[in-house]
Amino acid sequence: MNSPERAAVRGIEAPRRPFLVALSLTMLVAAVQWTPRLRPADFRAESLMPARAAAMPFVTPGPVDSAALERQVVARFEHWPLARILFSRTNEREISERIARAIVKEANHLQVEPSLLAGVLLTENAPLDVRARSSQGAIGLMQVMGFHAGEYDCDSDDLLQVEANICHGARVFGHYLKRTGNVRRALLRYNGCVSGTNTPNCRRYPSKVMRNAHQVRRELLQYPPYSLAIDTTAF
* Predicted TM-score of the model (pTM): 0.70
Q: What percent of the chain has pLDDT over 90?
A: 58
User: What is the 3-class SS of the chain, one letter each residue?
Assistant: CCCHHHHHHHHCCCCCHHHHHHHHHHHHHHHHHHCCCCCHHHCCHHHHCCHHHHCCCCCCCCCCCHHHHHHHHHHHHCCHHHHHHHHHHHCCHHHHHHHHHHHHHHHHHHCCCHHHHHHHHHHHCCCCCCCCECCCCEECCCCEEHHHCCCCCCCCCCCCCHHHHHHHHHHHHHHHHHHHCCHHHHHHHHCCCCCCCCCCCHHHHHHHHHHHHHHHHHHHHCCCCCCCCCCHHHC
Options 3.40.50.300, 3.30.460.80, 2.40.50.140, 1.10.530.10; CATH for 70-234 is: 1.10.530.10
Average pLDDT, the chain: 78
Question: pLDDT value at position 7?
Answer: 45
Residue 224 is predicted with a pLDDT of: 73
pLDDT confidence bin for 187, thresholds 50/70/90: very high
Whether 87 has a pLDDT exceeding 90, the answer reads yes
List the domain boundaries for the chain: 70-234
pLDDT (mean) for 145-163:
94
pLDDT of residue 136: 87
